[in-house]
Amino acid sequence: MLLEDRNAVIYGGAGAIGASVARAFAREGANTFLAGRTPATLERVAEEIRAEGGVAEVAEVDALDETAVGNHADSVAADAGRIDIALNAVGISHVQGTPLTELSLHDYEHPVRAYTRTNFVTAKAVARHMVEQRSGVILTLSTPGARLARPGILGNAAASAAIEGFSRALAGELGPSGIRVICLRPDAIPEAVAGSHTRELFSGIAESAGTTIEGWLAERARTGTLLGRFPTLAEVADYAAFAASDGAGAMTGAIANLSSGSLVD
């Protein structure tokens, strides 16, 4: 197993990506600590993990609240002994599809502030323990918006570029302490849309294009990716497990392009 006995904290652990990655981590032998704002949805994921023989604990934590995140990380480290892996899979609802002249400052700024804040707060909380251990892996998530020039994505683009810049600089900051940082950049994951904040994001865009979200995504995948399809949750989760493992031990400061070729490096 890739992650035997590693302790992994997943912020946004009940979300589409967070839950899939938590299941993959647990299958690879990690003890998972799921954090989010809604105990019932976290517990549902934890039950699935336990039913498959894995280890999962849940905690109600607002990943924008520095004190709450710090206290949670301290209690995981105290109870479990160490924190080996952290993933920030928090999803922030925001506006896409609105042109600049109609976009409010609040709608532009909201994803930038929230994503940069939660990634800072969670990385700092776990890094305090990882620095002491002199090892650890921090995984972040961005979107292809970080590199796209397209109308209607200003807030998303600035937030995603900020997460990628933060992840790169964090790798420089923590590398000397033996801590790796990798940012995962999947494109839209069609099967995630139903239960994720992306439904709200994409519904207006699909509607103004006169189609359904499913139809809009299928067309974007067909015409806009090298593989003619978007990534699956399993592909993103399996990649995250590898990135967190010793097999990826030489990899840090990297943006993992999981876009199915909607962007090429």
Ligand X SMILES: NC(=O)c1ccc[n+]([C@@H]2O[C@H](COP(=O)([O-])OP(=O)(O)OC[C@H]3O[C@@H](n4cnc5c(N)ncnc54)[C@H](OP(=O)(O)O)[C@@H]3O)[C@@H](O)[C@H]2O)c1
Asked if 64 touches ligand X (CB under 6 A), the answer is yes
Smallest distance from ligand X to CB 16, Å: 4
Q: Which is nearer to ligand X, 196 or 252 (CB)?
A: 196
User: Quick check: helix, strand or coil at residue 8?
Assistant: strand
Stretch that binds ligand X, among 74-82, 123-131, 188-196, 241-249 (CB under 6 A): 188-196
Residue 182 to residue 204: CA distance in whole angstroms: 31
Q: What is the dihedral of CA 111, 255, 137, 118, to 10 degrees?
A: -10
Q: Which stretch binds ligand X (CB under 6 A): 100-108, 124-132, 189-197, 221-229?
A: 189-197
Sign of CA dihedral 215, 219, 220, 226: positive
Q: Tell me the window of 35-43, 125-133, 167-175, 208-216 that interacts with ligand X (CB under 6 A).
A: 35-43
Is residue 90 within 8 Å of residue 68, measured between CB atoms?
A: no
Q: How many CB atoms lie within 10 A of CB 113?
A: 16
Q: Which of 96, 98, 122, 198 binds ligand X (CB under 6 A)?
A: 198
The only residue of 54, 91, 136, 155 in contact with ligand X, by rule CB under 6 A: 91
Min CB(177)–ligand X separation in Å: 25
> Considering the complex, what minimum distance in angstroms separates the CB of residue 141 from ligand X?
4
Nearest to ligand X of 1, 227 (CB atom):
227
What are the tokens at 57? Answer: 């604990």
Under rule CB under 6 A, residue 16 binds ligand X:
yes
Residue nearest to ligand X (CB): 15
Across 207-236, b (16+ Cβ under 10 Å) vs e yields eeeeeebeebbbebbeebbeeeebbbbeeb
Does 76 bind ligand X (CB under 6 A)? Our answer is no
Residue with tokens 């992650």: 3
Q: Give the binding range for ligand X (CB under 6 A) out of 1-9, 76-84, 183-191, 218-226.
A: 183-191
Give, as ranges, the residues between 117 and 176 that touch ligand X (CB under 6 A).
Answer: 141, 143
Which of the stretches 22-30, 70-78, 172-180, 184-192 binds ligand X when contact is defined by CB under 6 A? 184-192
Instruction: Kindly tell me which residue out of 38, 67, 75, 212 binds ligand X, with binding defined by CB under 6 A.
Output: 38
Strand runs labelled E in the chain: 7-11, 31-36, 55-60, 85-88, 136-141, 179-186, 254-258
Write the secondary structure of 32-59 as one string of H (helix), E (strand) and C (coil): EEEEECCHHHHHHHHHHHHHCCCEEEEE
CB of 248 to ligand X, least distance (A): 19
**78 burial level (CB within 10 Å; 0-12, 13-18, 19+):** exposed
195 close to 16: Cβ distance less than 8 angstroms: yes
Interaction site with ligand X (CB under 6 A) = 11-12, 14-18, 36-38, 41, 62-64, 89-91, 141, 143, 186, 188-189, 192, 195-198
